[in-house]
Chain A
Amino acid sequence: MMKKACPDCDLLVTITPLKHNERALCPRCDAVLARGGRSMDSIFALILSGLLLWVSSLALPILTLDVNGVQQPLSLWQTAFAMLDQEAWLLAILVAMTSFVAPFFHLAMMLWLFLPLRFERKPPFVGWAFRLLYANQGWMMLEVFFLSLLVTAVKLADSAQLLPGWSLLAFVALMLVMSAIQLLFDPDVYWRAVEQCR
Chain B
Amino acid sequence: MSLTALSHHLVPCPYCTQLNRIETDALVACGRCGSALQRRGAPKLLSVWALLLAAVILYVPANLLPVMTMVSLGRDSSNTLMGGVIHFVQTGAWLLALVVFVASILVPLSKIVVLAGLLLSVQFRWCARLRDKTRLYRLIEFMGKWSMVDVFVIALLVALVQFGEFATIKAGAGSLSFAAVVLLTLWATSIFDTRWLWDVCADKQGGEHV
Residues of A within 8 A of B (CB): 3-5, 7-12, 28-31, 65, 67, 72, 74, 78-80, 82-83, 85-88, 90-92, 94-95, 98, 126-127, 130-131, 134, 138, 141, 144-145, 147-149, 151-152, 154-156, 159-160, 162, 187-188, 190-191, 195
- Most chain B CB within a 10 A radius of its CB, from A5, A79, A188: A5
Q: Specify the chain A residue showing the minimal Cβ separation from B6.
A: A10
Q: Are B159's CB and A72's CB within 8 A?
A: no
Can you list 25 A-B pairs, Cβ within 8 angstroms, ordered by A? A5-B4, A8-B195, A9-B4, A10-B6, A11-B5, A12-B4, A30-B134, A31-B134, A67-B165, A72-B163, A78-B159, A79-B159, A82-B163, A86-B159, A88-B158, A91-B151, A98-B148, A98-B152, A131-B15, A138-B190, A144-B145, A151-B96, A151-B100, A154-B96, A160-B166
Is B162 at the interface (CB under 8 A from chain A)?
A: yes
Q: Are A138's CB and B159's CB within 8 A?
A: no
Q: In the complex, which residues of chain B have a beta carbon less than 8 angstroms from the beta carbon of A148?
A: 148-149, 152-153, 156
Please measure, in the bound complex, the distance between the C-alpha atom of A98 and the C-alpha atom of B151, giving whole angstroms.
Answer: 12
Contact of B5 among A12, A138, A141, A190 (CB under 8 A): A12
Q: Are A83's CB and B195's CB within 8 A?
A: no
For window 113-133 of B, CB contacts with A under 8 Å fall at 130-131
Q: Are A160's CB and B164's CB within 8 A?
A: yes
Q: Are A90's CB and B167's CB within 8 A?
A: no
Please measure, in the bound complex, the distance between the C-alpha atom of A57 and the C-alpha atom of B156, giving whole angstroms.
Answer: 17
Residues of B within 8 A of A (CB): 3-6, 8, 10, 12, 14-19, 30, 32-35, 40, 72, 93, 96, 99-100, 103, 130-131, 134-135, 137-138, 145-146, 148-149, 151-160, 162-167, 170-171, 175-176, 179, 186, 190, 194-195, 197-199
Please measure, in the bound complex, the distance between the C-alpha atom of A94 and the C-alpha atom of B150, giving whole angstroms.
Answer: 13
Q: Which 5 A/B pairs are nearest by Cβ-Cβ distance?
A: A148-B152, A82-B159, A5-B5, A127-B34, A5-B12
Q: Given A3-B19, A65-B160, A144-B148: A86 and B170 within 8 A (CB)?
A: yes
Please measure, in the bound complex, the distance between the C-alpha atom of A9 and the C-alpha atom of B195, giving whole angstroms.
Answer: 5
Q: In the complex, which residues of chain B have a beta carbon less than 8 angstroms from the beta carbon of A126?
A: 33
A136 CB to nearest chain B CB (Å): 13
Q: Are A90's CB and B179's CB within 8 A?
A: yes
Q: Are A90's CB and B176's CB within 8 A?
A: yes
Q: In the complex, which residues of chain A have a beta carbon less than 8 angstroms from the beta carbon of B19?
A: 3-5
